[in-house]
């Protein structure tokens, strides 16, 4: 039961990760103005405003992942990438490749739960003949 649930979850994660990467690749880049910068220990969170190629003005928050953007200040301009279907929600910096981690983790889980499901669901071996019953 556990392996079936895990396999279904891994398939769903792999599909979601693949769809996210495809949607992101259909998106485009834009020049964004930094509206707010918040330092939380080693993490830097920024709020940016940008205009999509379709003319929609968006405001988005995200964690800075590219080293050269860690020292941004309010009013600076940075390049962002947004998805095609959700341009104001799915925003990240140009050069941020962290979305690939999700698909890699999903693929590892898919492999692991696939092996577990195979082991759990395979046909049992026939019992040994009685003449070999006492042998190691």
Task: Kindly report, residue by residue over 46-105, the tens digit of the pLDDT.
Answer: 889 998 888 889 898 888 877 777 788 888 898 888 887 888 887 888 877 777 777 788
Is the pLDDT at 1 greater than 70? The verdict is no
- pLDDT at site 103: 75
Is the pLDDT at 134 greater than 80? The verdict is no
CATH code for the domain in which residue 47 is found: 2.40.50
**pLDDT tens for residues 11-49?**
887 888 778 778 777 778 888 899 988 888 888 888 899
- pLDDT at site 5: 79
- pLDDT at site 136: 65
Nearest partner of 86 among 20, 133, 134, 32, judged by Cα? 20
CA dist 10 and 8 (Å) reads: 5
User: Does 108 fall in a domain?
Assistant: yes
Q: Is 29 helix (H, G, I), strand (E, B) or coil?
A: strand
Q: Is 58 helix (H, G, I), strand (E, B) or coil?
A: strand
pLDDT band at 132 (very low <50, low <70, confident <90, very high): low
Region at 105 (left for phi over 0; alpha for psi -120 to 50; beta for the rest)? alpha
User: Does 11 fall in a domain?
Assistant: yes
- pLDDT at site 82: 85
Give the contacts of 42 (CB within 8 A, at least 6 positions apart): none
68 or 136: whose pLDDT is higher? 68
User: Does 19 fall in a domain?
Assistant: yes
User: Does 132 fall in a domain?
Assistant: no
User: Does 71 fall in a domain?
Assistant: yes
Domain membership of residue 22 as a residue range: 2-122
Domains identified in the chain, total number: 1
Report pTM: 0.63
Structure tokens at 18: 């693949």
User: Does 127 fall in a domain?
Assistant: no
User: Does 136 fall in a domain?
Assistant: no
Classify burial at 92, counting beta carbons within 10 Å of its beta carbon; exposed 0-12, middle 13-18, buried 19 or more: buried
User: Does 133 fall in a domain?
Assistant: no
The answer to whether 78 touches 27, Cβ cutoff 8 Å, is: no
């Amino acid at each position: 039961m556990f392996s079936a649930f895990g396999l279904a979850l891994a398939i769903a994660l792999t599909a979601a990760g693949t769809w996210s990467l495809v949607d992101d690749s259909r998106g485009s880049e834009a020049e964004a103005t930094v509206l707010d910068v918040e330092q939380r220990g080693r993490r830097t969170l920024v709020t940016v405003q940008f205009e999509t190629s379709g003319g929609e003005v968006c405001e988005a928050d995200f964690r800075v992942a590219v080293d050269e953007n860690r020292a941004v200040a309010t009013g600076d301009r940075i390049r962002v990438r947004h998805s095609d279907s959700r341009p104001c929600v799915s925003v990240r910096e140009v050069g941020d490749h962290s979305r690939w981690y999700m698909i890699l983790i999903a693929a590892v889980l898919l492999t692991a739960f696939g092996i577990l499901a195979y082991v759990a669901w395979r046909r049992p071996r026939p019992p040994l003949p009685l003449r070999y019953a006492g042998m190691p």
